[in-house]
């Protein structure tokens, strides 16, 4: 069982964290929330199936915890005038509220995304993944990869170009469904 | 609206200006808002889909350790619950009240007879704490020294009045460490994961696998790095090319805020003998190598955690040379008295150097 739990944790921690981070816009808060959820699972490990079938449940938990956190933040912000921060919270909350896997052509999107990643030159992909999954600033990436900031910017531009190319059709359909 | 700005906004790379641009655009109408929301949800979906990044075993172990801690606290709470419900508690409560009244009256009695005893408060300034969920901070007080092992197995000796902050787990691409004060590093070699030591004053060192000593005290106007083996690149904050690449047996000194006459940076090639002296502190050896009295005082204060004052300005002209191994402060002062025209007196935990 310990092995199963370890596998569950290692495989999914960063996935869940990255998910939460998109809405929370703070890696530290995201880590706290995900740690909390795994603590809960660990304490009740006898009652849970410790495999992929737990994943939808984990995502739902993350979603609710994020919503709770954002609501509390919004309540705190009511007396402040940071309109941008308020906007960030509001948008995140609303997006999260209507997030559900069914609203996407999920498999198609993922497939296109994977293809786009494969189509990138290796160096571009590495820079792109560093920025995307490890939340490094451009300056830090430059230091890590021993290249100039200009090169980082250029590679990011290339990466987005490739992504756009691959996801263009998908975006069009989604926008059409959404607005039409 | 440019999609690139929207993507930058979502991935937190946008500038303040761009964020405001996004905000205005979204506030224009409901459709724009829907587009942004969809993009955010897509981003979340894609980021949680990718299987590229697994958590390491080390990260997992840290987590389990935390879990067990929480679990043990929980057990204690259960025991407390039993305690709360038991009847003995009430009787003990009565007993406590009686005892309290008794002891207070006794105290008042004592107080009226004897002068109050002075209790010295000892502030806890030395120790480890978890700075936040991700970082650990270790502070070594004056008069103390410490040895710290980092999550990757690297070892750092910390001299008195030094502080180090590092993550519970290093990220896969860089080992970020922040130091103020003096530390002797033995960094485990890993070319794919450079260690970046951030110093307080706008400088950082990038190392792969080296042994070095770095001194960067806030109240000393210089950063002194001595390299024993390996290679170090010295960076200034905000620049992406190193200002200097160090080779072994080299001491590199940066003086951030000095007049134009002084050279801001200097490289000194040092002999093996001096190299040894520089890092001797970690073995409890205190060296003074022709050091002006003013600096000797700073070193003594830090080393022994005491206060030393120079009574007469003229003493500052002298320099002092000596070597001590785990020696009490009094012996140091005695030695100083023998070698220099200096005497000392101690008044209320403060040492005064006099002529």
Task: Note whether A11 and A84 are same-domain residues.
Answer: yes
Q: From the CA of A15, how many Å to the nearest CA of chain B?
A: 4
Look at residue B114 and tell me if it is in a domain: no
CB contact under 8 A, A104 and B45: yes
Task: Note whether A115 and A82 are same-domain residues.
Answer: no
Query: What pLDDT shows up at residue A14?
Result: 87
Task: Note whether B322 and B339 are same-domain residues.
Answer: yes
Task: Note whether B305 and B260 are same-domain residues.
Answer: no
Task: Note whether B206 and B161 are same-domain residues.
Answer: yes
Share above pLDDT 70 across residues of chain A, in percent, rounded to a whole number: 91
Q: Nearest CA to A96 among A69, A134, A77, A76?
A: A69
Task: Note whether B159 and B260 are same-domain residues.
Answer: yes
Look at residue B59 and tell me if it is in a domain: no
Residue whose token pair is 């033995």: B186
Query: What pLDDT shows up at residue A74?
Result: 84
Task: Note whether B264 and B336 are same-domain residues.
Answer: no
Residue whose token pair is 């000796």: B157
Number of domains, chain B: 3
Task: Note whether B151 and B249 are same-domain residues.
Answer: yes
Decide: helix, strand or coil at residue B260.
Answer: coil
Residue A156 near residue A127, CB atoms below 8 Å: yes
Decide: helix, strand or coil at residue A7.
Answer: helix
Query: What pLDDT shows up at residue B117?
Result: 35
Residue B184 near residue B160, CB atoms below 8 Å: no
Task: Note whether B188 and B311 are same-domain residues.
Answer: no
CB contact under 8 A, B47 and A133: yes
Q: From the CA of A143, how many Å to the nearest CA of chain B?
A: 6
pTM > 0.80:
no
Query: What pLDDT shows up at residue A16?
Result: 92
CATH code of the domain containing B322 = 3.55.50.30
Task: Note whether B256 and B344 are same-domain residues.
Answer: no
Nearest by CB to A134, from B11, B171, B206: name it.
Answer: B171
Residue of A143, A156, A170 to mutate, testing the B interface (most B Cβ within 10 Å of its Cβ) = A143
Residue B182 near residue B159, CB atoms below 8 Å: yes
Look at residue B83 and tell me if it is in a domain: no
Task: Note whether A7 and A93 are same-domain residues.
Answer: yes
Query: What pLDDT shows up at residue A101?
Result: 67
> And the tokens for B130?
């978890």
Q: Nearest CA to A17 among A132, A174, A104, A179?
A: A132
Query: What pLDDT shows up at residue A176?
Result: 64
Choose the final residue of a domain: B239, B260, B278.
Answer: B278
pLDDT: which is higher, A28 or B94: A28
- The CA distance from B289 to B294, in Å, is 13
Look at residue B210 and tell me if it is in a domain: yes
Task: Note whether A9 and A89 are same-domain residues.
Answer: yes
Comparing alpha-carbon positions, the chain B residue that sits nearest to A99 is B41
User: If you average pLDDT over each of A96-105, A144-153, B120-129, B337-346, which comes out highest?
Assistant: A144-153
Comparing alpha-carbon positions, the chain B residue that sits nearest to A19 is B44
Whether pLDDT at A64 is above 50:
yes
Decide: helix, strand or coil at residue B28.
Answer: helix
> And the tokens for B96?
């406590």
B61 touches A at CB < 8 Å: no
Task: Note whether B191 and B211 are same-domain residues.
Answer: yes
Task: Note whether A57 and A124 are same-domain residues.
Answer: no
Task: Note whether B137 and B243 are same-domain residues.
Answer: yes
Choose the final residue of a domain: A54, A80, A99.
Answer: A99
Residue B36 near residue B6, CB atoms below 8 Å: yes
Choose the final residue of a domain: B257, B278, B299.
Answer: B278
CB contact under 8 A, B44 and A84: no
CB pairs under 8 A between A and B: 145
Helix A149-179 with B3-10: angle, nearest 10 deg: 100
Task: Note whether A95 and A121 are same-domain residues.
Answer: no
pLDDT: which is higher, B99 or A94: A94
CATH code of the domain containing A126 = 1.10.10.10
* Backbone φ and ψ of B266, nearest 5°: -150, 150
Decide: helix, strand or coil at residue B290.
Answer: strand
Task: Note whether B221 and B173 are same-domain residues.
Answer: yes
- The CA distance from B342 to B321, in Å, is 14
Comparing alpha-carbon positions, the chain A residue that sits nearest to B56 is A10
Instruction: Give me the sign of the Cα torsion angle A15, A21, A24, A27.
Output: positive
Tens of pLDDT, residue by residue, chain B (355 residues): 677 788 888 888 788 889 999 999 999 888 888 888 888 888 888 888 755 567 778 888 888 887 776 666 555 555 555 555 555 556 666 677 777 776 766 666 555 444 333 333 333 344 555 555 567 888 888 888 888 888 888 899 998 888 888 888 888 788 889 898 999 999 988 888 889 898 876 788 888 888 999 988 877 778 888 998 888 888 887 777 888 888 888 888 887 654 444 455 677 777 777 888 888 888 888 888 888 888 888 888 888 888 888 877 777 778 888 888 888 888 888 888 888 878 888 887 788 888 7
Burial of residue B305 (CB within 10 Å: 0-12, 13-18, 19+) is middle
Look at residue B202 and tell me if it is in a domain: yes
Residue B197 near residue B209, CB atoms below 8 Å: no
- The CA distance from B242 to B233, in Å, is 6
Please count the other Cβ atoms lying within 10 Å of the Cβ belonging to residue B111.
Answer: 10
Residue A57 near residue A28, CB atoms below 8 Å: no
Nearest by CB to B37, from A9, A95, A149: name it.
Answer: A95
Q: Which domain does B18 fall in, by range?
A: 3-49
Task: Note whether B235 and B312 are same-domain residues.
Answer: no
Choose the final residue of a domain: A99, A115, A138.
Answer: A99
Look at residue B140 and tell me if it is in a domain: yes
Task: Note whether A139 and A89 are same-domain residues.
Answer: no
Task: Note whether A32 and A114 are same-domain residues.
Answer: no
Query: What pLDDT shows up at residue A23?
Result: 93
Task: Note whether A6 and A71 are same-domain residues.
Answer: yes
Choose the final residue of a domain: B226, B261, B278.
Answer: B278
Q: Average pLDDT, whole number, for chain A?
A: 84
Query: What pLDDT shows up at residue B288?
Result: 86
CATH code of the domain containing B236 = 2.60.120.1440
Q: Which residues pair with B128 in a beta bridge?
A: B138
Query: What pLDDT shows up at residue A150?
Result: 92
Comparing alpha-carbon positions, the chain A residue that sits nearest to B7 is A160
Task: Note whether A79 and A167 are same-domain residues.
Answer: no
Measure the CA angle with vertex B48, ends B46 and B49; round to 5°: 60
CB proximity under 8 Å: B 119-138 to A: 132-134
Q: Which domain does A68 fall in, by range?
A: 2-99
Q: Which residues contact B100 (CB under 8 A, 6 or more apart)?
A: none
Task: Note whether A94 and A167 are same-domain residues.
Answer: no
ipTM above 0.90, yes or no: no
Average pLDDT over residues A130-134: 75
> And the tokens for B221?
């106007």
Nearest by CB to A38, from B38, B63, B206: name it.
Answer: B63
Task: Note whether A46 and A90 are same-domain residues.
Answer: yes
Look at residue B141 and tell me if it is in a domain: yes
Look at residue B92 and tell me if it is in a domain: no
Decide: helix, strand or coil at residue B181.
Answer: strand
Query: What pLDDT shows up at residue B260?
Result: 43
Number of domains, chain A: 2
Q: From the CA of A62, how many Å to the nearest CA of chain B?
A: 12
Choose the final residue of a domain: A78, A99, A120.
Answer: A99
């Amino acid at each position: 069982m310990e092995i199963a739990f370890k596998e569950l944790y290692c495989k999914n921690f960063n996935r869940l964290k990255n998910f939460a981070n998109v809405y929370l816009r703070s890696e530290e808060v995201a880590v706290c929330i995900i740690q909390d959820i795994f603590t809960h699972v660990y304490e009740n490990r006898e009652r849970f199936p410790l495999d992929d079938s737990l994943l939808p449940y984990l995502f739902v938990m993350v979603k609710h915890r994020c919503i709770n956190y954002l609501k509390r933040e919004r309540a705190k912000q009511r007396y402040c005038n940071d309109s941008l921060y308020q906007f960030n919270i509001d948008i995140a909350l609303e997006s999260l509220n209507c997030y559900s896997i069914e609203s996407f052509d999920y498999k198609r999107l993922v497939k296109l995304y994977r293809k786009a990643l494969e189509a990138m030159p290796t160096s571009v992909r590495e820079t792109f993944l560093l920025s995307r999954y490890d939340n490094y600033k451009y300056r830090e990436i430059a230091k890590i990869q021993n290249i100039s900031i200009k090169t980082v910017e250029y590679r990011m531009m290339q990466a987005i170009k490739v992504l756009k190319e691959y996801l263009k059709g998908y975006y069009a359909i989604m926008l059409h469904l959404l607005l039409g | 609206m440019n999609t690139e700005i929207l993507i930058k906004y979502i991935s937190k790379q946008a500038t303040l200006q761009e964020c405001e641009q996004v905000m205005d655009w979204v506030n224009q109408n409901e459709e724009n808002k829907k587009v942004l929301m969809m993009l955010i949800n897509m981003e979340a979906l894609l980021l949680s889909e990718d299987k590229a990044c697994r958590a390491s075993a080390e990260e997992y172990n840290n987590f389990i350790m935390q879990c067990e801690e929480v679990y043990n606290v929980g057990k204690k709470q259960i025991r407390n619950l039993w305690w709360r419900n038991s009847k003995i508690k009430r009787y003990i409560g009565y007993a406590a009240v009686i005892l309290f009244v008794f002891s207070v009256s006794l105290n008042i009695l004592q107080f009226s007879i004897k002068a109050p005893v002075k209790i010295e408060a000892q502030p806890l300034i030395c120790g480890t704490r978890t700075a936040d969920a991700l970082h650990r901070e270790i502070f070594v007080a004056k008069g103390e020294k410490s040895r710290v092992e980092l999550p990757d197995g690297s070892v750092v000796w910390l001299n008195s009045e030094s502080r180090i902050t590092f993550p519970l787990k290093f990220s896969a691409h860089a080992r970020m460490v922040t130091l103020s004060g003096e530390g002797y590093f033995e960094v485990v070699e890993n070319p794919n994961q450079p260690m970046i030591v951030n110093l307080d004053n706008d400088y950082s060192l990038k190392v792969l696998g080296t042994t070095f000593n770095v001194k960067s005290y806030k109240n000393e106007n210089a950063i002194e790095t001595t390299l024993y083996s390996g290679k170090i690149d010295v960076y200034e904050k905000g620049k992406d090319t190193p200002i200097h690449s160090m080779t072994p047996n080299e001491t590199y000194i940066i003086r951030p805020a000095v007049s134009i006459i002084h050279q801001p940076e200097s490289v000194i090639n040092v002999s093996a003998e001096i190299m040894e002296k520089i890092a001797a502190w970690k073995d409890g050896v205190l060296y003074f190598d022709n050091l002006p009295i003013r600096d000797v005082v700073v070193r003594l204060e830090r080393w022994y955690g005491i206060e030393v004052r120079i009574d007469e300005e003229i003493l500052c002209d002298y320099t002092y040379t000596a070597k001590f191994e785990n020696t009490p402060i009094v012996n140091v002062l005695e030695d100083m008295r023998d070698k220099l025209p200096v005497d000392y007196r101690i008044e209320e935990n403060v040492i005064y150097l006099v002529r």
